[in-house]
Amino acid sequence: MIKKKRAVGLLLLIIGTVVRVTSADALADKVLLDFDQASMASSWVVDSGSAQVVIREGRQVLQLRAAAGEAAKIRLRPASGFWDLRDYVNVTVDMENPGKEAVWFRLLIADPHTKNELPDRPNLSYNGWVKAKEKRAFNSAVVRHRYRSDVPEWLQLFPDMNGVPHAEMWVWFGVNPAKITEVVLTVDAQPIEQSLWLHGLRGTRRSLPKKLLEDPDAFFPMIDVYGQYKHEEWPGKIYSDQDLVEARRDESRDFKRHPRPIAFNRFGGWKEGPVLEATGHFRTEKRAGKWWLIDPEGKLFWSLGCTGIGQQRSRVKLDKKRHFFEDLPVPTHPLYSKWYRRGGQDYDAGNVVLFRKFGKEYASVYNEWSLRRARSWGLNTLGSWSAAAKEQPTSLKMPYTIMSWIEGLPVKPIEKLSDPFDPRFVERIVMSLRKRESDALEDPYCIGIFDQNEIYWGKDPAEKVLEIREQCDLSTPIRQALEGFLSDADSEDNETLRDFFCYMTDTYYRKCQEAVRLAAPNKLYLGSRIHEGAMIPEVVRAAARYCDVVSFNVYEKELKRFGEASKWKESFFTEDKPFLVGEFHFGALDRGKFAMGLNVAADQRNRAENYVHYIKSALTNPRCVGAHWFHYMDSPTTGRHQDAENFNCGILSTSDTPYPEMVEAMRRVGASLYSYRERMD
């Protein structure tokens, strides 16, 4: 341990010339725009609406105004060159809403590589809301694009982490923090006039921890026994085992104050809604222009869920990070040894927290506790990877989904794809389901079955087929199918290659459907949870042909026109089929986490705002029949054992503490779920 700390200190000494932090206790905010200065007209450009300097409480502010029925957009820019925000975590916009209604805005942080104003990745864009008469400092974190920025050498101190202390997020999207060209603020048209008073723009929050720079021996270990970052404080942080016990007691009382929504029947369907055909299992039906799930009792059902509910693996890698953790027990400890894996190189820190909170019977207690949470939070579905779905008590039982995994038969260039041309393909799926999920196959509470998860079909069908030809041996069934297909074709041009890709995807989804019908004829086939990297017509068309419900993992800001053409994207999902969102989330950096996730938020309040907005947009979409949040618990602060994800993606922190803002938002949505869906046209 001492040697490791000395090495850290030496590395920091060596790279000290590239670390740009002050020695003050707090790094002063960097003023980017101050509208109280005499004239800064050259620092903004108005695209729509109007902007003018007005006096507010003796100071100049910039008023952005959108007339009724019109939008407003303003570009805030440096007087020259770029804004260099390498020392800072956030661009903070100080704003005020003088009106009588809340204002929704979009904020885009751009660099020279930003090509358009798409409100989703790869751009760095936020959704925000300012309440009537409210002043708000909106902290939009500057996500660092790992491949467009000068990556500081000190990052090697934190291997396999998407975000590092003090909340620098280094990933495959975002901007170059040294070359911020503009901040674009957009207010969409509403029936009423809207105004925002902009007080200024600042760089805020030190990016590199001062303690790490000045005294690395004091910085490490940086993670406490509850999986929390030691060097920050925040509301709800756990400091002792007694805090855990008291939190459990408080939450138990909270369950009693917040029972399951009264609008739900025993399945979570709309109790007071119309009675339709009851089959004893879940099915789909289009009614009055909207797709719905129908529960086993014939009631309308919209699936509001979360993945990973219940006990889960929360392992962390210790190979390069052992010195990160405070008070690690030795791997031979008589009580804690069972939570070590790989000869002491992995440690299940999450379950240790549950042991401290729920006692030695935590394994049997926690899944039931999680069911009580989900019901109290207004959810009606246990999403994928939910351990609580197994052996549910009758009084707490909830609908759930299951996953089919195909063992073996890999196709080299397409990650997670098993060879659909292999004659053993259907049999493998059926055997897997009967072996792993036998209790679910006729359970009325089981909604349906996903296959695999996020198959990497790619964006270029012809290129992917060429990769199959190059990487798959002639003895493999998929290569044989390809060669036979090409020998029957007139040419081997891109169109022919694309045709084989369509034949392959069609074969895959057709055979998956066949397997589900054989193993579980009463269950819905939910598809493969198509992710952003595979949302192309050639994949979606095949899925829509054979899936009862097409599933997508959609890390976008909203779903109102999901899959349709926009000014930034071509359409890829035009079929009149119901779809289900298998994953979505929003993350923030205000509670001790270093990385937000695949969708960004300013703080916990903004996470909750985005959750409500996302679900409402899903309820507005006539094809959408459900959305499942990813994930029940934050990923470990130092990264998951299998990858670098250390996101604020959970409804719970790593200390098993619910985020109250998220819980309140979920309850609010759950309470009005069916009335909102029914009245939206």
- Whole-number mean pLDDT of the chain? 94
For residue 230, pLDDT beyond 60: yes
Residues 283, 264: Cα–Cα separation, whole Å = 18
Closest to 352 (Cα-Cα) out of 337, 367, 371: 337
Q: Peptide bond before 221: cis, by omega within 30 degrees of 0?
A: yes
And the tokens for 163? 């975000």
Percent of the chain with pLDDT over 90: 89
pLDDT tens per residue across span 432-450: 999 999 999 999 999 999 9
**Once rounded to an integer, what is the mean pLDDT over residues 574-578?**
98
For residue 19, pLDDT beyond 50: no
- From 238-242, 264-268, 338-342, the region with the lowest mean pLDDT: 338-342
Per-residue pLDDT at 27: 87
pLDDT tens per residue across span 409-431: 999 999 999 999 999 999 999 99
pLDDT band of residue 504 (cuts 50, 70, 90) is: very high
Q: Are 121 and 173 in contact (CB under 8 A)?
A: yes
pTM score of the predicted model: 0.96
For residue 577, pLDDT beyond 80: yes
**Once rounded to an integer, what is the mean pLDDT over residues 238-260?**
98
Domains of the chain: 30-216 (2.60.120.430), 256-319+360-679 (3.20.20.80)
Per-residue pLDDT at 161: 98
**Once rounded to an integer, what is the mean pLDDT over residues 555-569?**
93
Sheet of strand 303-306, all strands in order from the earlier edge strand to the far edge: 524-527, 446-451, 400-404, 381-382, 303-306, 624-629, 579-583, 550-553
pLDDT band of residue 23 (cuts 50, 70, 90) is: very low
pLDDT tens per residue across span 588-608: 999 999 999 999 999 999 999
pLDDT tens per residue across span 653-672: 999 999 999 999 999 999 99
Per-residue pLDDT at 289: 97
What are residue 290's DSSP bridge partners? 287
Closest to 228 (Cα-Cα) out of 356, 110, 55: 356
For residue 16, pLDDT beyond 70: no
In 175-308, where do the E strands start and end?
182-187, 194-206, 283-287, 290-294, 300-301, 303-306
- Helical H segments across 162-237, by residue range: 210-214, 216-219
pLDDT tens per residue across span 321-361: 999 999 999 999 999 999 999 999 999 999 999 999 999 99
Per-residue pLDDT at 41: 62
- From 8-12, 126-130, 355-359, 540-544, the region with the lowest mean pLDDT: 8-12
**Amino acid at residue number 394:** T
Per-residue pLDDT at 213: 85
For residue 25, pLDDT beyond 60: no
And the tokens for 547? 């899936």
Crossing angle of helices 477-488 and 461-471, rounded to 10°: 120
**Alpha carbon of 658 to those of 242, 245, 253, 661, 669: distances in Å?**
17, 14, 14, 9, 17
For residue 252, pLDDT beyond 60: yes
Closest to 429 (Cα-Cα) out of 529, 550, 527, 519: 519
pLDDT tens per residue across span 454-502: 999 999 999 999 999 999 999 999 999 999 999 999 889 999 999 999 9
Kind of pairing between the strands at 315-317 and 346-348:
antiparallel
Percent of the chain with pLDDT over 70: 96
Other CB atoms within 10 Å distance of the CB of residue 189: 15
Per-residue pLDDT at 214: 87
Residues 426, 416: Cα–Cα separation, whole Å = 16
Per-residue pLDDT at 14: 38
Per-residue pLDDT at 38: 55
Residue 43 DSSP one-character state: G
pLDDT band of residue 126 (cuts 50, 70, 90) is: very high
**Alpha carbon of 368 to those of 30, 485, 652: distances in Å?**
49, 53, 16
Other CB atoms within 10 Å distance of the CB of residue 385: 19
Per-residue pLDDT at 312: 85
